[in-house]
Structure 1
Amino acid sequence: MPLRINEFLTSHHRQLKRVATAASIFAWVALGFYTFQALSTLLWVYYQPRLQPWQTPQGESVVRFLNLAISVIGRLLSGIVDWLLLKGVALGLNMLVETDCNYRSQAQGENHE
């Protein structure tokens, strides 16, 4: 008779599974938030009133572009790091629950033999 995982889940396991699910959901929310921030920064700069070339020094446009690029890349990297961190937490918690249930299953199987 195959054993089901639900037979071994305790209230602590269920709580860990809920935290893992929440971490996984927050991972996608964080990635979407940082992506939205990066896109809004790009759109904000794109729709700014354009200065005429005679109104800005030559080097200022390069500095503005580098500042924008660093800002957008930094926000995207922050989102990716947060996503990886939260997905890792979710995966780790799920692995802990599954490992504990496997040990309980094996212990129960040895007791029945």
Structure 2
Amino acid sequence: LLPDQLVLLLERLLEEKTLTLPTLQTLQRTYHLHEQDAEVRHRWCELIVKHKYTSAYEQVERFLQEDQAMGVYLYGELMVGEDARQQQLARRCFELAKGQMDRSSAEVVAEMLF
């Protein structure tokens, strides 16, 4: 699929209440989502967070390190739930990335995290 088609597919899947682990694994293998452009990887990271796909958290971490401008929303998603592991991931990523982020983004993320 083309990147725009993958974005559309992932956006549709984000509307689903639950996705099983095998479904997420198949998506990842079939479309090599961690190798796609930032728009696709952003939606993929949203799915990872929404469905607590813990074995793919390193992909969220990579996204937050490499695509800081697009990651602000993702920090919010990590903090919304009561999942301590996701919140810890968000804080760790922010500590690593805040020096490279533009000031306004860093301030917004800091407010979400602390």
TM-score, length basis structure 1: 0.27
Larger radius of gyration: 1
Bigger relative CO (Cα 8 Å, ≥ 6 apart): 1
TM-score, length basis structure 2: 0.26
More helix by share: 1
